[in-house]
Amino acid sequence: MIFILLETASILSTIGLPVLIIGALGLIFGLILAIASKLFEVKIDPRVEEILSVLPGANCGACGKAGCAGYAAMIVNGGEAVNKCAPGGPDVAAQIAQIMGIEAGAMNRKVAVIHCSSGGYKNTNWKYSYDGVQTCKSANSLAGGPNSCAWGCLGLNDCLAACQFDAISIDTNGMRLIDFDKCTACGACVKACPRDLIDLVPLTRNVYIKCSSQDKGGEARAVCGSTHPCIGCGLCSKECPVDAITIENNLAHIDYDKCINCGLCATVCPTKAILDLLVGTRQKAEIDPESCIGCTICAKVCPVSAISGEIKKLHTVDKSKCIGCEQCVPKCPKKAIEMV
Amino acid sequence: MGYLGEIFVMAMTAIFIQNFVLARFLGLCPYLGVSKKLDSALGMGLAVIFVMTLASAITFLINKYLLIRYDLLYLQTIAFILTIAALVQFVEMVIQKNAPALYNSLGVFLPLITTNCAVLGVAILNTTAFRSDGVTAYNFLDSVLNGFFSGVGFTVVLLAMAGLRMRLEKSEIPKSMQGMPIALIIAGIMALAFYGFMGWKI
Tell whether A32 is covered by a domain. no
Please tell me which residue, B41 or B1, carries the higher pLDDT value: B41
CA distance A17 to B22: 39
Select from A18, A29, A37 the Cβ nearest to the Cβ of B82.
Answer: A29
Q: Using the beta-carbon criterion (under 8 Å), do A22 and B86 form an inter-chain contact?
A: no
Query: ipTM higher than 0.90?
Result: no
Q: Report the C-alpha gap between B172 and A244 in whole angstroms.
A: 49
Distance in angstroms (rounded) separating the CA atoms of residues A39 and A33: 9
- Segments forming the whole domain that contains residue A182: 110-276
Residues B197 and B9 sit within 8 Å (Cβ to Cβ): no
Q: Which of A17, A18, A33 sits opposite B86 (nearest CB)?
A: A33
**Contact B70/A21, CB-based, under 8 Å?**
yes
DSSP state, residue B176: G
Asked if residue A9 belongs to a domain, the reply is no
User: What is the rounded distance in angstroms from the CA atom of residue B110 to the CA atom of residue B119?
Assistant: 12
Whether residues A64 and A181 fall in one domain: no
With residue A65 as reference, give the H or E element that holds it: none
Which of A81, A100, A119 is a domain's end point? A100
- In whole angstroms, give the CA distance from residue A265 to residue A232: 13
Give the mutation candidate from A15, A19, A22, A43 for the B interface (greatest B CB count, under 10 A). Answer: A22
Contact A306, A268 (CB under 8 A): no
Kindly determine whether residue B86 and residue A32, on different chains, have CB atoms separated by under 8 Å: yes
What residue segments make up the domains of chain B, in order of their start?
3-199
Give A135→chain B minimum CA distance, Å. 13
Tell me which residue of B169, B144, B191 sits closest to B20, measured CA to CA.
Answer: B191
User: Domain containing A51 — which CATH number?
Assistant: 1.10.15.40
Residue A290 lies in a domain: yes
Compute CA A275 distance to the chain's CA centroid, rounded to the nearest angstrom: 19
Provide, as residue numbers in chain A, all residues whose Cβ is less than 8 Å from the Cβ of B66.
21, 25
Same domain, A188 and A168: yes
Query: How close, in Å, is residue A29 to chain B by CA atoms?
Result: 6
pLDDT in tens, A102-134: 766 666 778 899 999 988 888 888 989 898 889
Q: Is the CB of A25 less than 8 angstroms away from the CB of B66?
A: yes
Asked if residue A68 belongs to a domain, the reply is yes
Q: What is the pLDDT of residue A254?
A: 92
* Domain final position from A38, A70, A100: A100
A95 and A180 in a single domain? The answer is no
Domain-located, residue A8: no
Residue B1 has pLDDT above 70, yes or no: no
Q: Are residues A82 and A225 in the same domain?
A: no
- Chain B residues with CB under 8 Å of a chain A CB are 62, 66, 70, 72, 75, 78-79, 82-83, 86, 89-90, 93-94, 96-98, 100
Give tens-digit pLDDT for A83-108: 788 788 778 888 888 888 776 666 67
- Total domain count, chain A: 3
**CA distance, residue A38 to nearest chain B CA (Å):** 10
Point out the residue among A18, A21, A29 whose CB comes nearest to the CB of B86: A29
* Phi and psi based region of residue A35 (left: phi greater than 0; alpha: psi -120 to 50; beta: remaining): alpha
* CATH number of the domain to which A242 belongs: 3.30.70.20
Tell me, yes or no, whether A152 and A51 share the same domain.
no
For residue A38, what is the nearest residue in chain B, using CA coordinates? B93
C-alpha–C-alpha distance, residues A15 and A171, integer Å: 75
Q: Which residues contact B132 (CB under 8 A, 6 or more apart)?
A: B1, B6, B9, B202
A199 with A125, same domain?
yes
What's the distance, CA A190 to chain centroid? 9
* Amino acid A230: pLDDT: 92
Could you read off the pLDDT of A242-277 as tens digits, one per residue?
889 999 889 999 998 888 888 889 889 999 999 988
The highest-confidence range among A111-115, A316-320, B98-102, by mean pLDDT, is A111-115
pLDDT at A41: 78
Optimal mutation site among B64, B90, B105, interface A, most CBs of chain A within 10 A: B90
Based on the domain organization, do A87 and A136 belong to the same domain?
Answer: no
What is the Cα–Cα distance from A95 to A47, expressed in whole angstroms? 12
Distance CA A192, CA A268 (A): 33
What confidence tens digit (pLDDT) does each residue in A182-207 have?
888 888 899 899 999 999 888 888 89
Please judge whether B79 and A33 are an interchain contact, meaning their C-beta atoms are less than 8 angstroms apart: no
Look at residue A193 and tell me if it is in a domain: yes
A33 to chain B: which residues are within 8 Å by CB?
Answer: 86, 89-90, 93
Q: For the segment A153-172, what is each residue's pLDDT rounded down to a tens digit? A: 999 999 999 988 889 999 98
Most A CBs within 10 Å, among B73, B75, B81, B91, to test the A interface? B75
pLDDT higher than threshold 90 for residue B146: yes
Identity (one letter) of the amino acid at A168?
Answer: I
Q: How far is A42 from chain B (nearest CA, A)?
A: 6
Sign of the CA dihedral with A57 first, then A61, A66, and A71 last: negative
CB contact under 8 A, B62 and A25: yes
Determine, for residues A17 and B75 on separate chains, whether the beta-carbon distance falls below 8 Å: no
